[in-house]
Structure 1
């Protein structure tokens, strides 16, 4: 049987894990909806990889429950439609890229034809290197191959642990486009990455872990606040000041919640004799929010 429909791609509740005297994960709960991209953030040692390994049955939790695609994660069938790229991986250097993909298809026990396998290599930019031995691949090319392994079976859930760490800017852009295309097809993605800018570009929601706990979670709008408009203005008359009452003033800079019609706002200010030097959308960045959360918990 395939995945159970109508349930979240991931449902995790109360996950806990201790390694000897150290508590790595302490009561972590979260969900990943179908077709949603969830970003998992936090400093080194926050428990992100431990959460992923417990979720996929690679590490046994001391407490808590996980459901994958509607099945308990202890049920092998729950992982039939899950693709996974671990943070640390190594493929046999004597195999070609095509042979690595073929091997993993056999290990997974899924039916994926040669044509689909070639298409997956093309999807990650390795179509021309299918016959080359992996031992001659750069780290970035091996990471692309790892993505192909995670995607080859057409999963409903993809778990990516630092998928762009070895990629150049073009490679990261390719992965970003790939994640957005997965989302459009209804595939759920759990993304663990230190590249916060990438997370901010592709994720619908974010969970920030710190000291093994969920420090904060929510949509980007919830975490970063509403977008604002920042204008640099001079020659503001008394009459114009009345129109700027909703704005927050800091020197020549005026900030206001993002209006529905920015051109109309600027045109009105100019009509009132105000000189508009610059107009910039603004919002706290995800990196700034992450640092804020970590400082609050330190």
Structure 2
């Protein structure tokens, strides 16, 4: 078993914003502790005002914490060598409208201290679906195209850590699928993904771990399957003509919809044994999905309990 350095590790993180000529301040983070394992796809979720953006700016060295310690990729987020290994897509992306996409990526490459290779940057633009727009000025891009360019910029230099704040904002459903594939490919390559998104369905599809932030603190954290209650229940739909009595005998419970049943199975082997019994009874399965509490319900329940 290897002792990997966490990609992100914060302890006792506090941040208070003080207003000029006023006593006191606004405490955005209140003793936050969080560890993001290396190579994980990690999602940060929470209500508006929970402190998510402040946390992201803190781990990037944009905001200085009032108290606490931060380690990113084994070092300080203010170390230029560490920053060069991070890809960042901010929530509010400001791009030079008179530039072209290749010129923008070339500047990002130089800022990271890397040699500019136009062919590499063109492949990046092709990867995010902008190969047909390389000659156009960025000012003429749609919001979705600008988000794609921001993602390409985050991918410059094959970063070890990707920090993405609302990466699919303004992108159509087909584009979201493309972005999701890119992020999954990066995680398979070994990149650590840290995602902040209001689109909880996207977080569920991409991330394997989630932290819920409320009131400036992490109130719940863990693997998605552990956070979602009811993970051992499966919804199964059989084709018309299935023998209901035989299915009940095989351990299936009739659901509300026509042809729908529920079965409990602790692991894939137990699930397959139940399905084998159904097939032996002549039933033909046409749909199978886990009956777990979705991330939205987990978020709402956790925030209400914390309040």
TM-score normalized with structure 1 length: 0.87
Deviations 1:58-89 (A, max 9, x none): 00001111111111223232212111111112
How big is the shift at 1:169?
A: 0.4
Q: Could you say which residue in structure 1 is the equivalent of 2:234?
A: 229
Q: Which moved more, 1:271-280 or 1:157-166?
A: 271-280
Tell me which of 273, 276, 299 is aligned to 1:290: 299
Structure 1 contact 147–163 (Cα < 8 Å) conserved: yes
Equivalent residues in 2 for 1:100-249, closer than 5 Å: 100-225=104-229, 226-230=231-235, 234-235=244-245, 240=249, 244=251
How big is the shift at 1:275?
A: 12
Structure 2 contact 265–271 (Cα < 8 Å) conserved: no
Root-mean-square deviation (CA, aligned residues, Å) is 2.8
Q: Which moved more, 1:76-85 or 1:170-179?
A: 76-85
Structure 2 contact 16–28 (Cα < 8 Å) conserved: yes
Structure 1 contact 230–256 (Cα < 8 Å) conserved: no
Moved over 6 A (4+): 247-252, 270-279
Give the direction of change, closer, same or farther, for the CA distance of 1:275–1:96 in structure 2 (3 Å limit): closer
Equivalent residues in 2 for 1:245-264, closer than 5 Å: 254-258=262-266, 260-262=269-271, 264=273
Q: CA separation in 2, counterparts of 1:40 and 1:103?
A: 29
Gaps of 5+ in 2: 19-24, 238-242
Give the direction of change, closer, same or farther, for the CA distance of 1:45–1:93 in structure 2 (3 Å limit): same
Give the direction of change, closer, same or farther, for the CA distance of 1:167–1:235 in structure 2 (3 Å limit): same
Give the direction of change, closer, same or farther, for the CA distance of 1:272–1:170 in structure 2 (3 Å limit): closer
Gaps of 5+ in 1: none
Partner SS for 1:71 = coil
User: Aligned pair count?
Assistant: 289
Deviations 1:30-58 (A, max 9, x none): 22222211001011111111000000000
Q: CA separation in 1, counterparts of 2:51 and 2:9?
A: 17
Deviations 1:202-254 (A, max 9, x none): 111001101111010000111114331246884479x94xx64xx78888965
Q: Could you say which residue in structure 2 is the equivalent of 1:69?
A: 73
